[in-house]
Amino acid sequence: MARILAVTNQKGGVGKTTTTVNLGASLAAAKQKVLLVDLDPQGNATMGSGIDKSGLSRTIYHLLLQNQSLDEVRVASPAGKYDLIPANRDLAGAEVELVDQPNRETRLKDALDAVSGHYDYILIDCPPALNLLTVNGLCAAHAVMIPMQCEYYALEGLSDLIKTIKRVRANLNPELQIEGLLRTMFDPRNMLAQQVSEQLQQHFGDKVYRTVIPRNVRLAEAPSFGLPAMVHDRNSKGASAYLTLAGEILNRHHSKAMEFKAG
């Protein structure tokens, strides 16, 4: 069964979509079967995967609200070597339309349950808001990955997100855990960034990934080419960091699986 991770942070511009796309490509490069779910109406993960969002006749909107099957919506990303459930502006109205739907919080979960056995990892790129689309992502996931910049306001936003995760766990998805906190756009020359990083490690311990994603020009420009960074420039520091992150995640899950078998 797939390990399903919701990549989320209600603060925009923290590297959420960059993380989803590049982690997905890095896991695929490690011979993992990966499905990306673009749950953001901006469709940036779709474009970053090399898929033209404006030319799509079926998207995640049709999966959530038009009873289309996942097979009818899913496309392949030749650039990332993974499968993708794409999104575009059609999804913008879904927030309102979902309100009156039965099982409105678990529609994505129900769709993913049917294909979970076909993948090793499913990564959900959530919108930068704590709305009904994000709740669908949190209900479908086993755990949450939180990309965040090491700056003052990030800690306040993190507190709000953790409260939301606890509410979803209490009311909708008792399995939901925090998979890890990922420090993104990190500049080691910045003293505040170092201080916030230390605070995160003190408060969250091994929930903070050892891998740190640096500020990197190649990482930032890769989406404009519709490519993950490792395809755009595999030797860049950004691409190397996400390959390292993929290795860290695989090692974590392998260790947990061994502990489970031993127990």
Mean pLDDT of all residues in 129-141: 94
* Mean pLDDT score, 236-240: 96
| Banded model confidence at residue 263, pLDDT cuts 50, 70, 90 | low
Please determine, for residue 145, whether its predicted confidence score (pLDDT) is greater than 70.
yes
Find the domain containing 25 and state its range: 3-262
DSSP 208: E
- Percent of residues, the chain, with pLDDT higher than 90: 78
Model pTM?
Answer: 0.95
pLDDT in tens, 72-87: 999 999 999 999 999 9
Number of domains making up the chain: 1
C-beta separation of 150 from 186 below 8 A: yes
CA dihedral of 228, 128, 60, 29, whole degrees rounded to 10: 20
pLDDT of residue 261: 55
What is the mean predicted confidence (pLDDT) over 213-236?
A: 95
Q: Are 246 and 229 in contact (CB under 8 A)?
A: no
Instruction: Give how far the C-alpha of residue 87 lies from the chain's centroid of Cα atoms, to the nearest Å.
Output: 14
Report, as an integer, the average pLDDT of 97-121: 94
| Chain position carrying tokens 């959420």 | 16
Q: What pLDDT is attached to residue 144? A: 97
Say which range, 37-51, 90-104, 123-137, has the weakest mean pLDDT: 90-104
Question: 258 or 6, which is more confident?
Answer: 6
State the CATH number of the domain containing residue 138: 3.40.50.300
